[in-house]
Structure 1
Amino acid sequence: MNRIRHPSYLLPYTRSHHSSRGARITLIERGTLGGTCVNVGCVPSKILIRAAHVAHLRRESPFDGGISAWAPVVDRARLLQQQQSRVEELRDAKYEGILRDHPAITVLSGEARFVDAHTLKVKLTAGGEQTVRFDRAFIGSGARPAEPPLPGLAETPYLTSTSALALDSIPERLIVIGAGFVALELVQAFARLGSRVTVLARSRLLSQEDPAVGEAVEAVFYREGIEVLNQTQANRVDYTNGEFVLDTNAGTLHADQLLVATGRTPNTEALNLASIGVETVRGAILVDEHLQTTVPSLYAAGDCTNQPEFVYVAAAGGSRAAVNMTGGDARLDLSAMPGVMFTDPQVGTVGLTEAEALEQGFSVESRVLDLENVPRALVNFDTEGFIKIVAERETGRLLGVQAVAGEAGELIQTAVIALRARMTVQDIGDELFPYLTMVEGLKLCAQTFTKDVTQLSCCAG
C-alpha cells in the first residue's frame, strides 16, 4: 500500500521562486533525510512483502502438482540487511546526493518552530539555535504511528509499522491491532515469513471500503492460517516474562510480539502553529486546493495535513505548492485518487463505492465480475477476487471501481484515467484491451452491464 508517513522537514522559501526557477531554499530536517516513504514506509515494506510472496510461492503455489514445493528457510537478518541496503541506496540517490549537489539549497539539521508568518527558530541538532527568515514556507512534517489510549500499552515494547520493518527475526506468535491497509499488508507478510498471526479488527477488515473487499481479503487470510477476530477490542495489554498478554472481549490472547497499526498522528505539535494563526483539526493542518494554509505565506502537504495519507498525494501536493509559492496557480484534484493495498491478492480502489454513490444522491447501477471470468486469472490458476464497477444508472458514467485481484494496483490506474475522462461503461467495454492481462477484466466487467460475458469467446471484443 503506497502511503507517506512522517517526513519531518520544513522548506522555508527565501526568494520568490522554487529552486528550479531560481529560488534560494533552506530545508530543515529533524530526523533522516528522505522522510518515511524511502526510509521506513513504502520502500522497506514493499521489499518485505515481496520477500514474503517469494517465500509463500516456494512453499505453496497453484502449480504444485507439477512443480515440487518445499518449506523455505527464512533468514530474516539477511533479508533485513538486503532491505536496508536498498533503502540507503535510494536515500542517497534521490535525496542526500541531490541536496549535496544543489547550490541553491541549504540543509539545517534540527527542529523548527514558527515565531511568526515569516520567521522560524531552529533548535540545531548540533547545539544552539538559528533564526531563519523567509518569504514563504512549505510544511511537510508528516505523521507518526498513533498510540491508542489502551491501558498498559505505553509500558510495553510494542511494535509500530515503523519498528516492525526493522525486526531482525520473525516472531513465532504475532498479534496485530488494526485492520487498514498498512496493518493488513504486514499481517500477511509476517504470516508468510513464518509467524502465527492474529488480527484484531474493531469492526471488520477494511471497514472504509466496500464490504465485499474486506470479506475477500478475510477469506484469503483464513486459507493462509491467519486468524481474524472481527468486532474485537483489547481492554488492557501487559508484558511479562517476554510475552504480551491482551485482555479482549474475545478472551485472553498471548503473543511474542504485538504490532499496533491503528492510524497516524500529524507531526505538528512542536511547530507553534496555533500562535501564528494556522488552523488545524486534531493536529492536521487545514489546506485548500492550492495547498495554502490559513496563513497566506505558509503552505503544506502530506500526512501533516487533512489530505489522504498516500505518498503520491503528498508528492503531488508538494509540487503544486511549490508552483503556487512562486506565483503560479496549480490545484490538487483528488476526485480520481487511487488506493492500493499490496496484499496478495492486491486491493485497488478509485472513486465512489456503491454506498458512497447512493449517499451522494446518484441513481446507481453496479456489476461484480468474479475473476473466474477473467482469462488471465484462469491461466494463472488464481481466481481469488473480483472486479466491481459502480456507474450512474441513466448515463452509464463510471463512478468507481473496486478490485481484489493479482496486480490490482496496475489494473486500477486504467480505471483512474477512465474516471478522469468521464468515460461510460459502454466506452470502456468498447475499448481494445490486450488479451491475457488482468486489466482486461475491467473491460469484461464493463461489458456485463449489457452482455453475459460467460457466453463470449475468450478474447471477444
Structure 2
Amino acid sequence: MNEQTLSVTGMTCADCARHVEKALKTLTDIVAVDVAYPQSVAHIRSIQPLSLDQLNATLPKNYRVAAAPSSHADTPAAKPSRLNQALDSLGGLFKPRGDVGTKPTNAELRLRVAVIGTGGAAMASALKAAELGAHVTIIERGTIGGTCVNVGCVPSKIMIRAAHVAHLRRTSPFDDGISSTAPVVRRDRLLAQQQGRVDELRHAKYEGILDTSPNIKLLRGEARFKNAHTLVVKSTAGDESEVSFDRCLIATGASAAVPPIPGLKETPYWTSTQALVSGAIPPRLAVIGSSVVAVELAQAFARLGSHVTILARSTLFFREDPAIGEAITTAFRAEGIEVLEHTQASRVAYANGEFVLTTGYGEVRTDQLLVATGRTANTRGLALETAGITVNAQNAIVIDRGMRTHVSHIYAAGDCTDQPQFVYVAAAAGTRAAINMTGGEATLDLTTMPAVVFTEPQVATVGYSEAEAHLKGIETDSRTLALDNVPRALVNFDTHGFIKLVAEAGSGRLIGVQAVTPEAGEIIQAAALAIRARMTVQELADQLFPYLTMVEGLKLAAQTFTKDVKQLSCCAG
C-alpha cells in the first residue's frame, strides 16, 4: 500500500477540498483520500504509487497537487516541518503522531470519529465507522438507545398491541358466534411487561453491542462544540473533558414540542414519554394534536378504557390525501373517540385534579391531557455556532444527501436534522454518514420512503399523493379500491378502508400508493419496491399475488385501471 502527502493549490474554501477529494477518488488505484482546506494538504493512500501527472490529470484545472516539503528534520533538535505542524493541527487520516521523521503506526493512522448520541442513527454510524477501521468515541448524556427503543417505537407498539387485544375481547365481527367479554385492564402489569421488553431490547441492541465493540469507546456526559475539531464533554459529576476528532456525527434526536398555550406549562400535562409509562388509564383523556403520536396513543388509551377527545387544529392527517383523514376520523368516531376538528385550545387550566381547556366551541374538561403536536430537534446546548453548523427555523440541522452539514467534516443524521423523523431513515442515514466519513461516497434516496401509522385501520403511504404530484407538475391517473373488493377483507368481515394507486398519466408508471387497511404496514413495502422498480400499473396487475392476503389488494387496485374488478372471479389473473 502506498501513502503520499501532497500540497494542494487553488483551494479557496472547504467546498474546494471536497471537490478535490471527489475528483481524486475517481482514480481506480485510490483507496482513501483526505483533503484539508486550511492546511492545503492532501493525504492519499493508493494500491500503487501515482505520479503527479496522473493526479493532476483528474483534477479540475484550477486545482493542482505537488510534492509536499520533506517532513524530515536536518538535525535531531530541529523543529517539526510546516507539513507536520499542519497535520498536527488537522488531526485526520494518516496523521503522524510520533517523533519527527518516524513512520506512524497503524493505530496512529486511524481516523478519529466522534458520535454524539446513542440512538438509531448514532449506533448505525458508530458500528459502520468502526467496521471501516475508524476509532469511534460515542457520547451519551442520558439513557443509551435514544427515543425508539426507550420512549418511542417499541413501548408504543407494545401498548397499541395490548389495546388491540383488549378491543377484540370487547367487540369483534364474530361476536354472534364467539361471545365477547369486557376485559379487566391491569395497567400496572401491562406496564411491567412493556418495560421488561424495552429493557431487554435496549441491552441486546445497544448496551450489549457497545460493551463488546473494542473500536467504540462510550463516554458519558453532555457534549458541546469547542471548535470545529473539538468537543467538550461535561459529565454528570460536573467535570469536563475534551474529545478531538477528524470527523463528527451529530445524532442527538428530538423531543416533544410543546405549543405556547397560555397556562399549559403550569399544568401536569403529559407528553408521549409520560403517557407511555403511566401507571393508570385515566377515565377521561384529552389529546391536543393530530400527529402520528397523537392518533396512535389516542386510540390505544380509548381501547384500554379512557374516554378520549382529540383536539385537531385542522383535520386528522391534514397533510395527506383527504380520504385518509376522513377514513380514520370515521373509524375513531365509530369507537367512541371524539374528534373535534378545527379546534384549538386558547387556554389550559388545572385545578382539583381536572384540566379545563378553553376552545372556540366551549370548554373541554378532562382528567389527563396529552400534548402531541410534533417533535423538535435536540440541538440547543450543542454550541453549533462555534463549529459553523447551520440550522433551519425549527433548529434542525441542515444536511445534504450525504448527511454533511455546511462544515464538510461534520455530519448529522436522524431526528435532529431536516430529514423525516423515522428511525429507519435515521439508521440508514447514520450508516451512509459513516461511509462518507471514512472516505466513501453514499447518499440517501428518500423518494420511495414508506411511512406507517399504527392506528386501526393502519395508514401507510409511499411516493406521491395526487396533490404532491400536481405540485411537481406531474399529471396523474389514479384509482381507489374499496376494501369490500378485497377477498381477505371480506373473509375477515372488516372492509373499512381503501387502497389508492397514483400513476403518471400517459406512461402508467406507478408513483404513489396510499392505504388505509388492516395490516397496511405489511402491504406498503411491496408498493415501495414496485415504485422503485419503475413498474407500471399494468405490470403490477400482471404479477402473482397470494390469494386471501391483504397485499393482493395492490394487484386488484392495479387491475381497476383497465377492468371492473367486481366482474372478476376470485383470484382472477
TM-score by length of 2: 0.78
**Deviation per CA, 1:320-368, whole angstroms, max 9, x where unpaired?**
0011100011110000011100011100000111111111111111000
**CA displacement 1:388-441 (0-9 Å, x = unmatched):** 001111010111000000000000000000011111100100000010000000
RMSD: 1.4
Query: Residue 244 of structure 1 contacts residue 256 of structure 1 at CA under 8 Å; is this kept in 2?
Result: yes
Look up the match of 2:436.
324
In structure 1, what is the equivalent of residue 297 of structure 2? Answer: 186
Provide Cα deviations, 1:217-273, integer angstroms capped at 9, x if missing partner.
Answer: 000001100000000000000010111000011210100000000011110011111
- 1:216 and 2:330 aligned: no
| 1:168 maps to amino acid | G
Which of the residues 79, 83, 86 maps onto 2:190? 79
Partners in 2 of 1:32 and 1:331 — Cα distance? 29
1:374 to 479, 486, 501: 486
| Residue in 1 that maps onto 2:470 | 358
User: Which position in structure 2 is the counterpart of 1:112?
Assistant: 223
Q: Residue 149 of structure 2 corresponds to which residue in structure 1?
A: 38
**2:343 counterpart residue number:** 232
Paired with 2:122 and 2:492, the residues of 1 have a C-alpha distance of: 48
Aligned counterpart, 2:500: 388
Question: C-alpha distance in 1, partners of 2:333/2:550?
Answer: 24
Contact 2:121 2:413 in 1 (8 A): no
Is the 8 Å Cα contact of residues 496 and 517 (structure 2) preserved in structure 1?
yes
RCO (CA 8 Å, sep 6+): is it higher in 1 or 2? 1
SS in 1 for 2:148: helix
Residue 208 of structure 2 is matched in structure 1 by 97
Alignment match, 2:422: 310
Match of 2:541 in 1: 429
Return the offset for 1:117: 1.2
Choose which of 164, 186, 199 in structure 2 pairs with 1:88. 199
Q: Which residue matches 2:370?
A: 259
* Letter of the 1:35 counterpart: G
Q: CA deviation at 1:11?
A: 6.3
**Mean CA deviation greater in 315-324 or 97-106:** 97-106
**Residues of 2 paired with 1:65 and 1:9: CA distance?**
46
Pairs aligned (count): 453
Q: Which runs of 5+ in 2 are unaligned?
A: 1-116
* Aligned partner letter, 2:497: G
2:102 maps to what in 1?
A: none
Cα distance in 2 for residues equivalent to 1:114 and 1:421: 43
Q: Does 1:55 align with 2:166?
A: yes
The structure whose Rg is larger is 2
Superposed displacement of residue 21, structure 1: 2.1
Contact kept, 8 Å, 2:121 with 2:423, in 1: the verdict is no
| Contact 1:302/1:317 (<8 A) preserved | yes
SS at match of 1:52: helix
1:172 aligned residue: 283
Please give the alpha-carbon distance, in whole angstroms, between the structure 2 residues aligned to 1:343 and 1:113.
Answer: 38
Separation (CA, whole Å) in 2 of partners of 1:297 and 1:447: 50
Q: Are the aligned partners of 1:172 and 1:256 in contact in 2 as well (CA < 8 Å)?
A: yes
Residue in structure 1 matched with residue 523 of structure 2 by the alignment: 411
Cα distance in structure 1, aligned partners of 2:157 and 2:554 = 25
| Partner residue in 1 for 2:137 | 26
Structure 1: distance between partners of 2:168 and 2:120: 40
The residue identity in structure 1 corresponding to 2:379 is T
Is it true that 1:286 corresponds to 2:398 in the alignment? Answer: yes
Amino acid at match of 1:236: R
Which runs of structure 1 show a deviation greater than 6 angstroms over 4 or more consecutive aligned residues?
8-12
| Partner of residue 556 from structure 2, selected from 444, 447, 451 | 444
Which letter maps to 1:68?
Answer: S
Q: What is the Cα deviation at residue 375 of structure 1? A: 0.3
Aligned to 1:125: 236
Name the CA shift for 1:7/1:214 in 2 (closer, same or farther; >3 Å).
Answer: farther
The residue number in structure 1 matching 2:40 is none
Cα distance change on mapping 1:164 and 1:329 into 2, 3 Å? same
TM-score by length of 1: 0.97
Give the superposition deviation at 1:127: 2.9
Deviation string, structure 1 residues 301-337 (Cα, Å, up to 9, x no partner)? 1110000011110010000001110001111000001
CA distance in 1, matches of 2:269, 2:337: 20
- Partner Cα separation in structure 1 for residue 205 and residue 440 of structure 2: 26
Name the CA distance, whole Å, in 2 between partners of 1:359 and 1:133: 46
Q: 1:275: Cα distance to partner?
A: 2.5
Distance in 1 of aligned mates of 2:207 and 2:563: 55
Distance 2:374 2:118 in 1: 16
The CA distance in 1 between the partners of 2:562 and 2:331, in whole Å, is 31
Greater mean deviation of Cα atoms: 196-205 or 96-105: 96-105
Distance in 1 separating the partners of 2:206 and 2:469: 41
2:358–2:364 contact (8 Å) kept in structure 1:
yes
In 2, distance between residues paired with 1:444 and 1:7? Answer: 43
- Give the Cα–Cα distance (whole angstroms) in 2 for the partners of residues 201 and 11 of structure 1: 34
Where does residue 3 of structure 1 map in the other structure? Answer: none
SS at match of 2:549: coil
| Structure 1 gap ranges (5+) | 1-5
Aligned to 2:455: 343
- Cα distance between partner residues in 2 of 1:446 and 1:22: 47
